[in-house]
A and B are shown apart, each in its own frame.
Chain A
Amino acid sequence: MALAANKVDATEALIAAYPAPSGEGKWASDARARALETLRQTGAPVRRDEYWKFTNPARLLEPAKAATILATDETPMFDGVDKLLVVFVDGVLRADLSDDLTMDGLEIETLASAMSKDIHWANDIYGVLEANGQNPVSRPMAALNTAMATEGLVIRVTGKAAKPIALRYLRSGADADVMVHNVIKLEQGADLTLLENGPAAARFNSSLEVDIADNAALHHVRAQGRDHERLAATHMFARLGTESRFKSFTLTVNGALTRNEAVLEFTGDDAFATVSGASAGDRAYHHDDTVFITHDALNCESRQVFKKVLRNGATGVFQGKILVPSHAQKTDGYQIAQGLLLDDDCTFLAKPELEIYADDVICSHGSTCGGVDETALFYLTSRGVPKSQAQDMLVLAFMDESIQEIEDDVLADEIRERLGAWMERHRD
Chain B
Amino acid sequence: MLNIKNLKASLEDEDKQILKGIDLDIGPGEVHAIMGPNGSGKSTLSYVLSGKGGYVVDGGTATLDGTDLLDMEPEERAAAGLFLAFQYPVEIPGVGNMTFLRTAVNSQRKMRGEEELNAAEFLKLVRAKAIDLKIDAEMLKRPVNVGFSGGEKKRNEILQMAMLEPKMCILDETDSGLDVDAMKLVAEGVNAMRDGKRSFLVITHYQRLLDHIKPDVVHIMAAGKIIKSGGPELALEVENNGYADLLNEVA
From A379, A384, A401, B107 is in contact (CB under 8 Å) with A384
Q: How far is the CB of B7 from chain A (nearest CB, A)?
A: 18
Complex Cα gap A382–B47 (Å): 10
Q: What B residues does A390 contact at CB under 8 A? A: 75
Q: A384-B79, A386-B107 are in contact. Are A379 and B164 (CB under 8 A)?
A: no
Complex Cα gap A383–B84 (Å): 8
Q: From residue 84 to 112 of chain B, which have CB atoms closer than 8 A to chain A?
A: 84, 86, 89-90, 92-95, 99-101, 103-105, 107-108, 111
Q: A378-B74, A383-B78, A384-B104 are in contact. Are A401 and B94 (CB under 8 A)?
A: yes
From A376, A382, A397, A400, B78 is in contact (CB under 8 Å) with A382
Judged by a CB distance under 8 angstroms, whether A385 is at the interface is yes
**A396/B108 in contact, CB under 8 A:** no
**B103/A379 in contact, CB under 8 A:** no
**A387/B94 in contact, CB under 8 A:** no
**A384/B86 in contact, CB under 8 A:** no
Complex Cα gap A385–B78 (Å): 9
| Interface residue range, chain B | 20 to 34
Q: Which residue of A lies closest to B166 (CB)?
A: A384
From A379, A385, A389, B89 is in contact (CB under 8 Å) with A379
**B90/A376 in contact, CB under 8 A:** yes
**A384/B95 in contact, CB under 8 A:** no
Q: From residue 364 to 387 of chain A, which have CB atoms closer than 8 A to chain B?
A: 373-376, 378-387
Judged by a CB distance under 8 angstroms, whether A356 is at the interface is no
B64-88 near A? 1/0 per residue, CB < 8 Å: 0000000001110111000010100
Judged by a CB distance under 8 angstroms, whether A393 is at the interface is yes
Complex Cα gap A386–B111 (Å): 9
Complex Cα gap A383–B103 (Å): 9
**A374/B53 in contact, CB under 8 A:** yes
**A380/B100 in contact, CB under 8 A:** yes
Q: How far is the CB of A399 from chain B (nearest CB, A)?
A: 8
Complex Cα gap A327–B112 (Å): 66
Judged by a CB distance under 8 angstroms, whether B160 is at the interface is yes
**A376/B92 in contact, CB under 8 A:** yes
Q: What A residues does B160 contact at CB under 8 A? A: 383
Judged by a CB distance under 8 angstroms, whether A394 is at the interface is yes
**A386/B90 in contact, CB under 8 A:** no
Q: What A residues does B143 contact at CB under 8 A? A: 397
Judged by a CB distance under 8 angstroms, whether A334 is at the interface is no
Number of interface residues of A (CB under 8 A): 23
Q: Which residue of B lies closest to A397 (CB)?
A: B94
Q: What A residues does B52 contact at CB under 8 A? A: 378, 382
Q: What B residues does A385 contact at CB under 8 A? A: 75, 100, 103-104, 107
Judged by a CB distance under 8 angstroms, whether B199 is at the interface is no
Judged by a CB distance under 8 angstroms, whether A398 is at the interface is yes
Complex Cα gap A144–B85 (Å): 61
From B78, B94, B101, A381 is in contact (CB under 8 Å) with B78
**A382/B51 in contact, CB under 8 A:** yes
From B75, B90, B93, B144, A384 is in contact (CB under 8 Å) with B75
Q: A379-B90, A393-B95, A393-B103 are in contact. Are A387 and B75 (CB under 8 A)?
A: yes
Complex Cα gap A390–B84 (Å): 17
Q: What B residues does A375 contact at CB under 8 A? A: 90
Q: What B residues does A380 contact at CB under 8 A? A: 92, 95, 100, 104
Complex Cα gap A293–B94 (Å): 28
B144-175 near A? 1/0 per residue, CB < 8 Å: 10000000000000001000100000000000
**B164/A383 in contact, CB under 8 A:** yes
Q: How far is the CB of B83 from chain A (nearest CB, A)?
A: 8
**A386/B94 in contact, CB under 8 A:** no
**A384/B78 in contact, CB under 8 A:** yes
From B73, B75, B79, B100, A393 is in contact (CB under 8 Å) with B100
**B89/A397 in contact, CB under 8 A:** no
**B53/A378 in contact, CB under 8 A:** yes
Q: What A residues does B103 contact at CB under 8 A? A: 385, 389, 393
B residues with a Cβ closer than 8 A to A are 50-53, 73-75, 77-79, 84, 86, 89-90, 92-95, 99-101, 103-105, 107-108, 111, 143-144, 160, 164
A residues with a Cβ closer than 8 A to B are 373-376, 378-387, 389-390, 393-394, 396-398, 400-401
Q: Can you sample 11 A-B contacts with CB below 8 Å?
A: A375-B90, A379-B86, A380-B95, A380-B104, A382-B77, A383-B164, A384-B78, A386-B75, A389-B103, A393-B99, A394-B95
Additional A-B contact list (14), CB under 8 Å, known A394-B94, A397-B95: A379-B89, A380-B104, A381-B73, A382-B51, A382-B75, A382-B77, A383-B101, A383-B160, A384-B105, A384-B108, A387-B74, A394-B95, A396-B94, A397-B143
